[in-house]
Every structure is written in structure tokens, then in C-alpha cells.
Structure 1
Amino acid sequence: MLNMNQIYLITDIPGYTPQISRLLSMMNYVRHTTLESVKNLTVHELDFLLDEESNSIGALLMHFAAVEYAYQLETFEKRELNDEDMAIWGPAVNLGAEGREKIKGNDLAYYVHKLNEIRNRTFELFKTVDDDWLYQEEEFWYKKQANHYFMWFHVFEDEINHRGQINLIKKRVKVQ
């Protein structure tokens, strides 16, 4: 759904209501800059760890997909990740030791495919709602009220935050 001719426009997207279009436009730009940041990375670079407590670039990419999937469930299906979901996405959601152990050895195409697969589902789900849905409130973190707009803002805000880690790791990767 990335339209490179409109990557710098926060604008209407055919098939979506105005506010959803703008949200998706921002998500598109964030993903574009993430993909530019990891372009041409090798498996070694994707798996590199700064130290024994850090996350790899590959794990962070999987984290982006896992967070987005979790928010699909939270906002559209009104459920949390279940045991079956956690068997697939747990290492990427939790990161840390589990992520270091289980998320490695994949090439960039693998991660991009996962990111695209989840993002395509997001775009399909957003076709089923309108701008009023964005403003629906429910209990969220620490029993505070949040609306769907905030929740989906957090999806790409989290990606932006972790992309800073990716850029730091890239600068520190030790050459093989």
C-alpha cells in the first residue's frame, strides 16, 4: 500500500475515510523510512547484538510486526494475544532473552515479508471502520481511557522509537 508518489503527503487514500487515510499515510511514511534504514542489511547485520542484553535489528523488525498484530487483535477483535498467538509472536512481543534465542538467522526478505503481511491485514481491517471508530474510547494501559486513534498512533510511534535503536546498532555492527 506504499504509494511512493505520495509518501510525503498526509492525505486521502481511496477506500478509506479522511482520518483513517491520514493515519495510514503516517504509518506508510514511518514504514518507508524503516525499510530505507534496513535496506541491504545482511543476516550478520540483522543478527548482530551490541551486548548480551540488547536486541538485534531482526528482532526489532519482528517486534514491529508483532505489535501491529497485537493491536489488530486488541482494536478489531477485542482480545489479547492468546497462547497460540504467543507461540508465534511471543519472542517478538517480549524481545529480551527469548527474542535473542529465537529470532535470528533470517534474511531481510523474511522480515520484510512478515512486515508486509501484517500491514496488508491492517489495511484490510481499516476498510471495515470509519472515522467515528477512531474516536471510540476504552480502557487501556494502566486502566486509563484511550481511543483507537491513540492506540494506532502508538503502533507507529513504537516503530519510530525502536528505529532509533536500529540506527544505533547499524553504526556499531562489527564487520565479519
Structure 2
Amino acid sequence: MEKIYLITDIPGYTPQVSRLLSMMNYARYTTLSAVENLTSNQLDFLLDEDSNSIGMLLLHFAAVEFAYQVFTFEKRDLNKEEEAVWGPALDLGEAGRREIRGHELSYYVDKLNAVRERTFELFKTVGDDWLHQEEAFWHQKPGNHYFMWFHVFEDEINHRGQIRLIRKKLKV
């Protein structure tokens, strides 16, 4: 984290993979800063009956990253067991509101860290050429791994805006 403001080489990774991971690290750093010191009740707070809680959004970040690990590195969709674990966090909605609650911040941070550690291990196995490999993506349009992994942290940045709004409403 000492080089958090540098998009640069990371030892053990190719140049473009390093830059992608650098951006992911910064996005995560700012996310964790946005939720620092929140209580379980604050993490569960809902602006209204249809909204997401901060805890839901944090678990969503881990779920999206896990799903992209499976999709891009293993070339498959989530299986039934993985869907049971990650589905409510991926979909958010009613199941998320019902099932994702009552946890301390450390629970979410541990999930985020475990998934991110696996991401870093998986990225050690590929290089810059892999990032540019194309395959059918959303609605069967061409996409490459670079875009797919950009979307992982772009989604986090987008939802972090929700987190900041919710935190503001909590007046913390």
C-alpha cells in the first residue's frame, strides 16, 4: 500500500497485469477507507425497503470478483454450490437484504481479502497476451479479459458511490 498512488510494475506480474492490479488495489483502498469503523448496525442500514446496505455492497464486490475468477480463468459459470454462497451478493435484491446482515466489518474485509488473494495468485499464471484474449461476453458481444477485469473494479467504484451516500445519511 506504500505505492497506492502509482500505477506501476508489481514484482511477479507482467506490465499490463501489474497496471490492472494497481488500479484494483487503489479502488479497494478507497473502498476500505469509505467503510472504516462502521458498526454492524451501520453496515446493515437500508435507506428504504428496496435499497442495498453497505454490507450487501461489500459482499457484492467479493462475489463479482469471485464470479470473474471462475468465468475468466476456469471458463465456466458458477456451479450450484457457488451460486448458493454468492448468489444473494451477486444479485443483491430481496435475498441479499434477507441474508446479508448481522456481520461486523471484519467479516466483509476477510471475504474481500480472501477473494483478492486468489485473484493475485491467478494473475501470476497469465501475462499481458491473456488480457487481450477475446471471447463472447455480455449478450454474446466480443469482450476481452482486460475489459472483464476492468469491469470488476469499475463495478466496485460505481457502488462505492452508493456506500458514500449511505454513510452520509448515517451521519458518521
Please indicate the TM-score interval, normalised by the length of the shorter structure: over 0.9
- The answer to whether 1:83 aligns with 2:115 is no
* Residue 154 (structure 2) pairs with residue 157 (structure 1): yes
Cα drift, residue 174 of structure 1: 7.2
**TM-score scaled by length of structure 2:** 0.98
Query: What corresponds to 2:138 in structure 1?
Result: 141
Q: Could you say which residue in structure 2 is the equivalent of 1:40?
A: 37
Residue 59 of structure 1: aligned partner: 56
State the AA in 2 paired with 1:155: V
Map residues 95-174 of structure 1 onto 2, 5 A cutoff.
Answer: 95-173=92-170
Q: Deviations over 1:129-161 (max 9, x none)?
A: 000000000000011000000000000000000
- Tell me the amino acid that sits aligned with residue 89 of structure 2: A
Q: Does 2:4 correspond to 1:7? A: yes
Q: Which runs of 4+ in 1 moved over 3 A?
A: none
What is the percent sequence identity of the aligned residues?
73
Local SS of the residue matching 2:143: strand
Structure 1: distance between partners of 2:148 and 2:63 = 14
The residue aligned with 1:25 is 22
RMSD of Structure 2 on Structure 1 (CA): 0.9
Aligned residues: 172
The question of whether the paired residues in 2 share the 8 Å contact of 1:71 and 1:151 is answered with: yes
Deviations 1:6-54 (A, max 9, x none): 0000000000000000000000000000000000000011000000000
Report the residue type matching 2:30 in the other structure.
T
Matches of 2:102 and 2:130, distance apart in 1: 40
Q: Distance in 2 between matches of 1:58 and 1:14?
A: 33
CA distance in 1, matches of 2:87, 2:150: 22
> Which string of whole-angstrom CA distances, capped at 9 and with x for unpartnered residues, describes residues 45-104 of structure 1?
100000000010000000000000000000000001111101100110010000000000
1:173, distance to aligned residue in structure 2 (A): 2.2
